[in-house]
Copies of this chain bind each other. A is one copy, B any other.
Amino acid sequence: MATLKVPTQIPSAADDAEQLHKAFQGWGTNEALIISILAHRNASQRKLIREIYHETYGEDLLKALDKELSSDFERAVLLWTPTPAERDAYLANEATKRLTSSNWVLMEIACTRSSHDLFAAKQAYHVRYKKSLEEDVAYHMSGDYRKLLVPLVSVHRYEGEEINTTLAKSEAKILREKISDKEYSHEELIRILTTRSKAQLNATLNHYNNGYGNAINKDLKADPNDEFLKLLRAAIKCLTVPEKYFAKVLRLATNKLGTDEWALTRVVTTRAEVDMQRIKEEYQRRNSVTLEKAIASETSGDYEKMLLALIGHGDA
């Protein structure tokens, strides 16, 4: 369930565009006005505002925002405003070019988006970067990471709920064998995780749990410091219980040792229109504090206001 709050009656896209244009005029920028509009419009409404802004003022709204805003607030607004497909294409492209934690962002996009949304992101990637996401991932990655990530971003998973029980049992056995042999990047293990539907995979992992007495992610903790194993566990979490994965990313991003604004912004902007409500519940259950409180204590100013608006704090 989304946390985005859109007023029941909203101004026309032309009015919104005009208000945004006004927010950029004169001395200083009216950040509050920007938040009051953009943080309370859904993807198709924002798309329309952006189109009309471009027609009316001859400039891409994102470019105007880029000039007017700065720092963490700027990044939050610039990530939030585009369509989910454009945003994912941007995040994925950024991930192929950075070294740190880039595997995680790619895995997260590949495993938590619906097949339809992942495909839309790949189409947006073609349009913007004049190449495919798959070729960039394959080119920039190597070794086990490439073996896992290329099929993860490539395969168009089936999304139906049908389950083949015989297959679930036989593939649970294959997973168990490979994990027992510590063959964590074995092609059969990769095949099962990257090609099966989420429903089928869930059935397989239930058989694994029932048949071998441990959840698969427990068995994948043999070496807690192995980075590839960490990514594998995260991928399984994203494919089966994404809200738990995101709650954990938010927990690590808002912990006492310093705030990870990039991760915080990424999760809030990508999930506000999808499942942020469940993520918030999971966050509170696990940390005994609301996400609102955590964000309020770790961030400030317009950035704080923007994030809180997106996670549904206050009125639309």
Interface residues of A (CB under 8 A from B): 119, 122-123, 126, 130-135, 138-139, 146-147, 150-151, 154-160, 162, 187, 191, 194-197
Top 9 nearest A-B pairs (CB, nearest first) are A154-B154, A135-B195, A132-B158, A134-B155, A138-B191, A138-B195, A131-B158, A130-B162, A134-B195
Bound-state CA distance A138–B131 (Å) is 25
Chain B residues within an 8 Å CB radius of A126: 156, 158-160
How many whole Å from A19's CB to the nearest CB in chain B? Answer: 37
What separation, in Å, do the CA atoms of A312 and B212 have in the docked complex? Answer: 62
Contact A134 B156 (CB under 8 A): yes
Minimum Cβ distance to chain B for residue A141 (Å): 10
Closest to A146 in B: B187
Question: Which residue of chain B has its CB nearest to the CB of A191?
Answer: B138
In angstroms, Cα B122 to Cα A195, docked, is: 13
What would be 16 A-B contacts, judged by CB atoms less than 8 Å apart? A123-B156, A126-B156, A126-B158, A131-B160, A131-B162, A132-B158, A132-B195, A133-B156, A134-B151, A134-B154, A134-B195, A135-B158, A150-B191, A150-B195, A151-B154, A154-B154
In the assembled complex, how far is the CB of residue A174 from the closest CB belonging to chain B, in whole angstroms? Answer: 11
In Å, the complex CA distance between A139 and B190 comes to 11
> Is the CB–CB distance between B139 and A191 below 8 Å?
yes
Given A158-B130, A187-B146, decide whether A196 and B151 contact each other with a Cβ distance below 8 A.
no
The answer, among B122, B139, B159, for a CB contact under 8 Å with A156, is: B122
Docked complex Cα distance between A150 and B123 (Å) = 20
Q: Which residue of B lies closest to A136 (CB)?
A: B195
Q: How far is A156 from B191 in the complex, measured between Cα atoms in Å?
A: 18
Cross-interface CB contact of A157 among B119, B132, B150, B195, cutoff 8 Å: B132
- Min CB distance A231 to B, Å, is 18
Question: Which of B130, B151, B155 lies in contact with A160, CB distance below 8 A?
Answer: B130
- Across-interface contacts of A156 in B (CB, < 8 A): 119, 122-123, 126, 132-134, 154
B132, B160, B162: the one contacting A197 at CB < 8 Å is B132
Least CB distance, A39 to chain B, in whole angstroms: 32
- A302 vs B131: C-alpha distance when bound (angstroms): 46
Query: In the complex, what residues of B have CB within 8 A of residue A195's CB?
Result: 132, 134-135, 138-139, 150
In whole angstroms, how far apart are the Cα atoms of A197 and B131 in the complex?
Answer: 7
Chain B residues with CB under 8 A of A134: 151, 154-157, 195
Q: Chain B residues with Cβ under 8 A from A157's Cβ?
A: 132, 134-135
Q: Report the separation of the CA atoms of residues A155 and B132 in the bound assembly, to the nearest whole angstrom.
A: 8
Q: Which residues of B contact A123 (CB under 8 A)?
A: 156
